[in-house]
Amino acid sequence: LKGLILDLRNNPGGVLNGAVDVADDFLDDGVIVQTKGRDQDSEQTFNATTGDLLEKAPMVVLVNGGSASASEIVAGALQDHRRALVLGERTFGKGSVQTILPLGNGAAVKLTTARYYTPNGRSIQAEGIKPDIELKSFKVANENADDALLKEADLTGHLQNDGGNGAEPATDDAESQQLPMPQTTVGSDSALAKDDYQLYEALNMLKGMTLLQSRNAPPQSPLPEGGGKG
């Protein structure tokens, strides 16, 4: 695998241990996330273990305002360790730890007891994760597409048509035939750019990172004369 795009857009999160496990898959060592609160018992540090599934292959992490909680932990850890390039929009900012305390009568109360902090000590709460490259989500329209053009009828307070409804203008048969729109194959760059521009740019970024990494790799030692298997 030459590279990976980890798409965390609109991922509302999950359990803490799951976030730690995902980040650990791409880190060899160091802090993944810390929890800190008023009570010392709430302070915990989660560290990465040896082993990177991608063996240092380039990574791009996609995030947006729908990325929250556990997905922010993953993005923040990979960003602080410079393991991945984070691209997209600032995340939601759900960085608090909730603890359920039983009341003894069958009821319970859920309290916020701590906050999540990235390896560099950044609080996720209300701030979220700011991408390395901010890129808003938008839809790319074909310049020849009918829906890309503003029409008189779209304007507020436009002059109404007071007659001739239903009348068809006389046109030449050749003119009345619409020219076919250019088609794009599924999976092509132009189709991807139209359907998901953020993913399109992430893929371009990953291609560049992969090329740069291959050029910076140390040259392989030449085989000795007469060498080779056999």
pLDDT of 28 reads 97
Q: Is residue 204 within 8 Å of residue 190, measured between CB atoms?
A: no
Give CA–CA dist 182/143, Å, rounded. 11
Catalytic residues: 69, 80, 94
pLDDT of 224 reads 65
Kindly report, residue by residue over 8-39, the tens digit of the pLDDT. 999 999 999 999 999 999 999 999 999 999 88
pLDDT of 75 reads 99
Q: What is this structure's pTM?
A: 0.76
pLDDT of 174 reads 44
- How many alpha carbons fall within 13 Å on the CB side of residue 168? 4
CATH T-level topology, domain 4-139+189-209: 2-enoyl-CoA Hydratase; Chain A, domain 1 (3.90.226)
Question: What's the mean per-residue pLDDT of the chain?
Answer: 85
pLDDT of 176 reads 42
Domain residue ranges in the chain: 4-139+189-209
Pairing type for strands 59-63 and 85-88 reads parallel
By percentage, how much of the chain surpasses pLDDT 90?
Answer: 63
Residues of the chain with pLDDT under 50: 167, 169-179, 181-186, 229-230
pLDDT of 82 reads 98
Pairing type for strands 108-117 and 31-36 reads antiparallel
pLDDT of 39 reads 86
